[in-house]
Amino acid sequence: LQPKRLVGRRVLVNAGPTFEPIDPVRGLTNLSSGKMGFAIARAAREAGAQVTLVAGPVALPTPRGVQRLDVRTAFEMFEACQAAAAASDVFIAAAAVADWRPLQASGHKIKKDGSGRPPALQFTENPDILATLAQGERARSGALFCVGFAAESHDLAAHAQAKRARKGVPLLVGNIGPQTFGQDDNQLLLVDEHGTHELPRASKLALSRQLVAEIARRLPPATLQ
Ligand code: C5P
């Protein structure tokens, strides 16, 4: 049994990819199974937290006792997270959010026009969910502890530290390569203001339990509600 380090805390986790429609049958997405975020939601629940899981399109069962909200696009994920964050103590951004979306999704299936020229798609940037919430009043006052993720192909420690500063979060979690997409295990690098700390290769659930413990000990003392 896991120690109940998060009793009385409300934890928001987002997970999985987002899907940005091009037309009714096509879209742009990121590779992400959602397994890491779902494992984190489960571990936070086991630690006694009240957990909200905002999930992009994934094929995973909802962890027991977790409130799940399914979304499709980055914008829907942004709105769901913003609403839930207002009543959360912790936000863990494990989702692989698409950085861009087609400027305008076509209402009908785009046809080949016979010219041999593919359609020119225009893109616009999606909101950065983590950076926006981390710069919000709740996070800046210390009421919302934000945790980001980074997947880098090289120089993870340096990139993760830079990303931590850019996003404005106290804790950033780096996925140590090689790519862990869809795998059941992972290896993490925690980056905070003191430096880096490695969590050696283990199952995503075991790592999530360690991560939850690391987050719990960084939280300000719980206030009575
Ligand atoms: O900038 P990059 O996408 O590499 O940062 C990854 C972190 O930022 C992850 O925690 C991811 O969930 C979050 N993110 C976000 N909104 C975006 C892009 C990334 O919340 N539009």
How does pLDDT run across 30-51, given as a tens digit for each residue? 999 999 999 999 999 999 999 9
Residues with CB under 6 A from ligand 1: 74, 93, 95, 97, 99, 126, 128-130, 148-150, 163
Mean residue pLDDT of the chain comes to 94
For residue 222, what pLDDT is reported?
79
- Per the CB < 8 A criterion, the answer to whether 19 and 100 are in contact is no
Rounded Cα gap, residues 17 and 66, in angstroms: 19
* ipTM entry: 0.98
Residue 17 preceded by cis peptide, ω within 30? no
Domains of the chain, CATH where assigned: 10-102+123-216 (3.40.50.10300)
| 30 in active site | yes
Give the rounded percent of residues in the chain with a pLDDT score beyond 70.
Answer: 96
Which stretches of 13-155 are DSSP H helices? 35-46, 74-85, 129-134, 137-140
Ligand 1 center from residue 168 Cα (angstroms): 12
At 107-142, the pLDDT tens digits run 999 999 899 999 999 999 999 999 999 999 999 999
Q: Which of 30, 126, 175, 186 is catalytic?
A: 30
